[in-house]
Structure 1
Amino acid sequence: MLNILIVDDEVIERKALTKIINGSLKDVTVIGEAPNGRKAIEMANEHRPDIIFMDIKMPGVDGVQAVKEIRKMDPGIRFIMVSAFNTFEYAKEVMQQGVKEYILKPSSKQDILEAVERVSSEILEERKQKEEQQSLRDNLERAVSIAQKEWVSSLLVNSVQDITFDEWGQLLGVEITSGYIMLLSLQPTGHAELSASDKQNWYQWLKEIQKVVVINEEMIIGPLTDSQVPVLFLCKKTAEKTNFKASAQAIIEKLYSLFQKESFPAVLRIGVGLLYNQAHELNQSYHEAVLALKQLLKTPNRKYIIGVKQGASPESVESGVLEVEKKLLEAVRQGDVNQVLYIFDTFVAKHADNKNVKTELVKKSFEELFILISRMLHDLGIDYERTPAIDEAEDSRVIFEKGKAHLLAVVHQVQVWRNNHAKGMLHKAKEYIEQHYANSITLESVAEFVELSPYYLSKLFKDRFGMTFIDYLTEIRIQHAKTAIVDHGKSLKEICYSVGYKDPNYFSRVFKKQTGLSPSEFRKATVSL
């Protein structure tokens, strides 16, 4: 509903305009009348109308002066100027204030209503654009937030393989062509451990400075674990010709420059994985960043290492362990106990092959594995927080046995979840989609409804139905659209909005892609049947 204020020093004119508008238009209403410019300014300040009918020639504060004052306090108010004087000077003066509508007294009913409809359409279109822009901003913020909270975590355990750089680009509103991982580590300067508040302050600082650090990349910050933070860099198309190492080095130098201005009781160390052109290879970049950081911590004088390829350094045995670790996590995620036992034996053998590995390093390796498993369980929506307690005095054999027992317990939990919950959750998700397909439905909103991780829900859809969440939603919407198109009483634009699309052109493209015909062609085909 749009509100209108009538301003005229002639009471008969005010009453006539009010009667015409209130009696002829449904979506607008006259909320007040003012006899002069001064009163108009007061009422505009109080009621904030959408449109003001403003007489130009009034005693005291005239219409032009009133427009100037009102626009100072609310530039969004639209004006329709009314005057008995058809002179260029009056028209020119109000046009300088951004006023586009100008009608003469006495005005016909048609002229008045057409002027209101033109201004109303302009206001509604502007509101629609603002809502769409806000929706885009909200979607972007939500996408980035989701990415920060879960996508990077999922990449670390290699549980997300279906998303492409094209899909990343759709989420972020830019064209993405490649990506890599940096692993940032906060190391204490003295013997004292870093406090939890130190780590959180550093993490918050990292979030705050991300916008000033990158130019040709999207910087997406992962979760803080202990004193390490993985950061995903997605490179835009404009950065294709930029040298990867030079770009990464520039980012690191900027990070160090900003870090040195703070007073953290620690030093910053950064391991960087290599650049990849396929999104599913980002997990490889992460493991390279892990290797780089481990090498870096053995050489305290270096601040960062870029691009340590697995198997290309003295860390080749460790690299093999990481590769087996990835396979082990995938087997656990699938709930495949035989594969878990087989791969775990390989995992143990990899450690045994390296005679120089001390017990404390084996312990550390297992602790890292348990952290990754915990993250994976969280992404699956499984509440299982227990981890085996490893005593400092225990030898490698005991650690291996405890690790195997823990893995078997985890696999059991995954199997229970898959058997008892996943099927029911998927059914619940499908019902929700079928009931809300006409709304602005998202993977995140459905996942929240069924209390699953968005990424696990996406994976379940692909595993169980052979299609992505978006494909399924599109299929439901197009099925309903095909049914509605048969009803020739509905316009194609109406049908577009009724099945959840906001852009008729986009709806038409999706419909044709799904059916082979445009909506209008499909409608014609139904007539001929």
Structure 2
Amino acid sequence: MLKILIVDDEILERTALTKIINSSSKDVMVIGEAPNGRIAIEMAREQRPDIIFMDIKMPGIDGVQAVKAIKKINPVIRFIMVSAFNTFEYAKEVMQQGVKEYILKPSRKQDILAALERVSSEIFEESKQREEQHNLRQNLDRAVSIAQKEWVSTVLVNQVQDITFDEWGQLLGVEITSGYIMLFLLRPKEGTEISIDQKQNWYLWLKDTLHSVGMNQEMMVGPLTDLQVPVLFLTKKTIEKVHLKTNAQMIIDQLNRIFEKKGFNAELRIGVGLPYNHAHELNKSYLEAHMALQQLAKTSNRKYLFAVKQGSAELPSSSELLETEKKLLEAVRQGDVNQVLFIFESFATMLVEEKNTNGSLVKKSFDELFILVSRMLHELGISYERIPAVEESEEIMTIFEKGKAHLLAVVHHVQVWRNNHAKGMLHKAKEYIERHYAESITLESAAEYVELSPYYFSKLFKDRFGMTFIDYLTEIRINRAKAEMVDPGKSLKEICYSIGYKDPNYFSRVFKKHTGLSPTEFRKVTVS
């Protein structure tokens, strides 16, 4: 609904214009009348109209002066000039202010409405373009974020081979010569748990805050996994250890100060790896950051730790290795390829550190892992008996590659099994959405409820129902809004909040996109 202000020193002219406009269109409404330029300026400041019908010749501040003053207050307001003086000089003055419409008194109704239609169409078209550009930016930002997560995941599982820092720099538009990893951990306080919403809020806060305190460094924020977030910092020049510590220390100090003020009911821990000058070496920086976090877990008074050199951090304990093994099994059970590759790399590194590269002990540990995987498959009802033949005489890397290949084959069978059993789980997810649509429900929370990874859940949901998770959630909310609108005692704002939307304007846009009518229009049609 566009807001119109009428400015004219003749009351009959104002009344006539108001009547013509209010009775002609459902998309515009006269919100006020001003008898002179001074009052017009005050009303424009307070009521922020979209369009002003402005008489040129008025006592005191005339129409041209009022247009200039209002343009300074709000340059997007459109003007339709009205005057009995058909002279080029008047038209020229207002045209210099960007005014395109000029009608003469006495004005014919069709001239008034034609000018109003042209200006209204221009405003609506610009609004539509802004919304499309906003949506495009959001989609682009989301795509870039997903791509960055994939890059970081690729780095961490050491799959970077051909891409160089020069190529990364070309993609980002800056000169990149080295990089390092920081690993952030949100640790719950003793006796407390962290909810899904708290995890997501912290993750979003971390991304936003890092970019605000990032010392103009390029960075890529990785995925949130088990309350850990890896962040890849890319530097524009080779940095020595002292420079790394200076930059990283400033980021960490600012981040910790802001974290304390936010009041998260948890503790922030940070491990920092060393910088490397080649992309394929960044996995070392991640492992160093991971080892630093492990050391921090054994202390209560330190919030961050810098790696000194690769392998210098204290060796992982047996309990830590077992915990990583559990995470690996869970990733296999979920059928999540990315997580299996991600955790397997850490598991293999920790295993070598603990067993001191003893091939016999490493083989034994892998045999035990394969037995656990086989037992888990049996419990799920999956028939897959093949176990790789690993010889003690084989090199460690060969044992690792066989182990990884076996796990990937198992994950494939798990995915097939989950596809066959997806109907029940997706029905359960639908019920979850229908019960919680009025809350801050997310893809991640729904996936966690049915014990699937978000990526896998999203793919299954789209394949099964022919629509995305967010489309289904929106459909549920809009249908509920329609039902609520039958009750004239409920305001549209109240209905908006009751179905899970926090912004009435956004709700109105979504509603119109799905129904072709605004909430107000729909309610009029339904109630009548």
Q: TM-score, normalised by structure 1?
A: 0.49
